[in-house]
Structure 1
Amino acid sequence: MYKFTSRVRFSETARDNKLAIPHLISYFQDCSNFHSNSIGLYKDKLLGMKRAWFLSSWQIVINRRPDIDEEIEVETRAYEIKGFYGLRNFIMYDANKEVCAYANSIWFYVDTTKGKPIKYEKEGIGFEIDEEFPMEKADRKIIIPNDLEKIIQADVLRVRESHLDSNCHMNNREYVRIALDFLPESLELDKIRQIRVEYKKAAVLNETMIPVYYFDEGNNRIFVLLDNETGENFAKVEFELR
């Protein structure tokens, strides 16, 4: 288990003065990196071993988004490793220890030389296994119902330097940011209760991406396909509304 405290900054807020959803995801990502670094699993060490962890899916539940200047605590728990999969929870608390948001995430361990998943080598580089955070877990895969019509196809965008992280891939947060950018302006962010993301292919510099939206009004869900111009899928995003 690893925790760190912070305070919601102006630069992290949306126009309603609450923590923006992409920055909420950044807090979870940062907590994971802090945890790895605290036990000596620095990125350079893993790369030297020709190993890396890649995110396969998110399930993020938002009870409320903290306000600007609010004190928060972020926690992560690596609760299971099986084969080449690693499972990790994230929790964001307010100053009263009330849960603002929580998440389940699934990662896979990769041999970077072969570009393929490999069974995790626990000896000498293992995480402590923590207690799993109690939550109702969704499936890793996102299935878009066949009867939904394509409602919006946004303009083609190109992957820019600002989208990338130090892996030279689009940061996992950015897929959600892009999906959020083309939602109807009338949709209040506080109506988003849950976000699921299934990652399929890492987008790199200068690749093109086309967000396509499907609305499931009966179940209060919005699905977003992030594809390239040939239909190859980078990621699927699902927003569940309150």
Structure 2
Amino acid sequence: MIPDPPTLLLLSLLGGLLALDATSVGQFMLSRPLIAAGLAGMIAGNPEGGIVCGVLMEAIHLAVLPVGAARTPEAGPASVAAAGAFAGAPASSQVALLASVVFMLGWGWLGGRSMEWMRRINVRIAVPPPGPVDPERIERLHLGAMVLDFARGAVVTLAGLLVLGTLLETLGWIPFREPWTRPALALSAAAALASSLRLFGRRRLPLFAAGAAAGAVLLWLRA
């Protein structure tokens, strides 16, 4: 659902900050889907929904490693958009949750392409011309590139909130039905986690298995 204007503004600003965190500033891992969606849920008034959305998106995004010149989806703004729009959906709507997770994947890909576009522009505006080096000019150029990255992240987040919010308000277009969505989400998360096992290495697989077992026991006890 489309949040109210003040919430839209706050979520857009959060998306801009998380776009900076991904590469330009800090890299504090706040732009990971779990953290980004949790923060978005808190701002939108539904922290539980944000965390649920973030856990699924984090599982799917876990194997993505933004290393070097690799083309990767941008998780932060897309996760904010998905969780922020999902926050207004009914808590029991598994269809809305599935739609939000699928949307995050597509919107993250678009965000990644916008990062490529921004970097091409950065080559033009952030590299000083030949000649004597002026430290103050270099600082201004790099600050300008950071402002551009923030604005890009905010726009990507705002557009995602409007698009997904509109789609969630008309869920009749989605071919899935509630009984199908829970197994689809569970299988997607399980497949994504399985694909990320190679990141841990064989030596760490026992630790991964122990953590998975502890989580399963916890869920069983709560049930």
Decide: shared fold, TM above 0.5: no
Higher Cα radius of gyration = 2
Structure with more of its chain in helix, by fraction: 2
Q: Which has the higher contact order (CA 8 A, sep 6+)?
A: 2
Structure with more of its chain in strand, by fraction: 1
Q: Give the TM-score of the pair, scaled to structure 2.
A: 0.30
